[in-house]
């Protein structure tokens, strides 16, 4: 998988590097499977991705979960993250899987997530 380093006979993937599928590896599990990755396109039918692992599309904010297996991944859309500029201190979040919209805002230094 992408950039590796050999430490005492064990090959480890460097986090933040791209693997052979072009995915930026953010986190690996104890089996050296990609638990969190990101990039322009979610992989499909590839080995090495943890069951339940996540992938974030860096071009459109789509978030996917691996509903396949470690031997053959299937990344299923679970939602998208969007931003808006309603005010300088508000971010709009859209949960497309559940059809809900939230505003993330700060009040007196406290971060609040409010369903709208």
More confident site: 46 or 99:
46
What are the residue ranges spanned by the domains of the chain? 4-80, 82-116
Strands 10-13 and 75-80 turn out to be unpaired
- pLDDT tens sequence across 31-89: 989 999 999 999 999 999 999 999 999 888 889 999 999 999 999 998 876 654 444 44
Integer-rounded Cα radius of gyration of the chain: 17
Contact 86, 102 (CB under 8 A): no
Q: How many residues does the chain have?
A: 116
Q: How many angstroms separate the CA atoms of 51 and 76, rounded?
A: 12
């Amino acid at each position: 998988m992408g950039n590796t380093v050999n430490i005492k006979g064990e090959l480890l993937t460097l986090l933040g590097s791209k693997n052979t599928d072009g995915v930026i590896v953010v986190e690996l599990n104890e089996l050296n499977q990609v638990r969190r990755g990101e990039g322009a396109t979610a992989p499909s039918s590839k080995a090495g991705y943890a069951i339940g692992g996540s992938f974030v599309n860096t071009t459109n904010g789509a978030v996917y979960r691996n509903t396949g297996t470690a031997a053959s991944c299937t990344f299923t859309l679970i939602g998208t993250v969007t931003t808006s500029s309603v005010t300088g201190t508000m971010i709009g979040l859209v949960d497309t899987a559940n059809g809900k919209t939230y505003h993330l805002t700060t009040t007196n230094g406290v971060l609040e997530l409010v369903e709208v």
